[in-house]
Structure 1
Amino acid sequence: MEHFQRQIAAFDHPHVEAIAIIRGHTLLALQRFLLERNFRQLLPILLSPITDPLNHAVDPAEIQYHQHRLKLTASIIFHKQLALTARGHEQIFVVAPNIRLEKPEVENSPRHLLEFSQFDFEIRGCNMQQAMLLVEQMVKHTLDEVQKHCATQLAQLGRHLPRYETAFPIYTTDELRAAHGDDFEQFMSEKAHTPFFITNHRREFYDRETPGKRGHYNNYDLVWPEGYGEALSGGEREYEHGQILLRMQELGMDLTPFGNYLEAARRGLLPPSAGGGLGIERLLRFICGTRHIRDVALFDRSVGSNFLF
């Protein structure tokens, strides 16, 4: 009953309305930014035979529907690649809900959710540097728009958004790990006063390995300053059948569920591309200056949630 009362009281908190107004203008700014650049917006995909295998363990989120075993979407990465083959879909984006049933190890994390939304984009023929530039421009535009249209709500939250005039710094995982150890991302996030990129992460098979440079990857993260941590992950994509197979076999993956995806790659249907996914709740957490991600969502879906509703 105590948790119930706390949830009902939260509905009436003045910050709930302020955050809702900020949320609306944030999404509007993101969507307009890409629509004005001739992107096509897709609607979400929630069920699929395959989804993002992720680079960390989560509990399975899947259902049996007649003869089909379907997964709830952990990310829309494979559908983004395939969508680029459609006529007029050279540049796409989607506000994509994701389900990731995180392990208890992150139960107290202030930035993990079991159910969250990503602002996903993908561009045919794009490289990592071009994608990073687009991300930087989009983030700066969004922060400026929110500060312009939501100054009253931000003031209510005790937040004034900085205006970043210079390019976001770029680091590599190798240099940061050598300087700061394995927890380099959080160390740098707490130290930084501007968002920054980190490149060359060893993770999922679909992030492209640098041609001619084994063990080096054309991918990137955007990290928020002020200790807010990772904002976005992205990169160039593997699209050649042989290289995809090699990467999957290196990770010891079961290829069977990916049969149709691999067939598309074998037929040369997957185009070269790059993209990324910006965590919307993590963006709102940074914009609103809240320290726990559940504070920017009306219904708590943090890893330690009591699931009242």
Structure 2
Amino acid sequence: MKKIGVLTSGGDSPGMNAAIRAVVRKGIFHGLEVYGIYNGYSGLISGKIQKLELGSVGDIIHRGGTMLYTARCEEFKTIEGQKKGIEQLKKFGIEGLVVIGGNGSYMGAKKLTEHGYPCVGVPGTIDNDIPGTDYTIGFDTALNTVIQAIDKIRDTATSHERTYVIEVMGRDAGDIALWSGLAGGAETILIPEADFKIEEIIDRLKRGHERGKKHSIIIVAEGVGSGVEIGQKIKEMTNFETRVSVLGHIQRGGSPTAFDRVLASRLGAYAVELLLNGKGGRCVGIQNNQLVDHDILEILDQPHTVDKSMYKLSKELSI
């Protein structure tokens, strides 16, 4: 193998640039030519491909987002779209590909591998919802962004004696809500992986109020429902002064933490090692601080799970 490509796909996450840098420099170190594919699979189809040098990835390790840009591409889900992408890979002589992204990105990598182009997936998503790895690139940064917001909102909640509902990202996964809620001392955490009853939340708020508690923080993963609607129900059922904050896309941005920079560097470099060893259709991860790789198809078939012991602990500590 003499030429490899790298692309980022799906939602951006802090640390993607560090992973791109690792892929490029690890590849060049081993004598490979490395090509950046811009705008994800959409850019692959249209041929937005450029050779990257050492200097191309200088001064990016600390930057959020992705220098290669990203886009969702419905066309690549079709056989015709995949064939167009393969034509571009042939045109540039690219023999292997590193794909940085989430589940949808992995599916594209799997399809290309089936067409004869070895691909390795690198988990880049703030949701931490990729099986086969303890952490995904961007999760730690997003988590710290949310915690900072919780701390600031708590100051206001305390000053005004209010209940605050904070909606965080996590359509299908509750990791951001669970971790930030536990770290931020939230009284209630709502995640997609666990059922809840609004009556239980109300009872907990009232019990706290009766013992003199003047403010509360409730963390809601977006996959559970609208934070605004939940906040309205709480206000109607308790008559407590209630406010809602939807953190939104602020969670995806910002300079990556040291943890995410190191994680991205390790995973990006490991992906190149797999390609050099002739391994495709794999995805990399970290488990118990050790680099691992799995078959992409097997990972895509596995459901995401959260640590239920952490969820149980959050309830015990917010009694």
| TM-score normalised by the chain length of structure 2 | 0.25
Structure showing greater Rg: 2
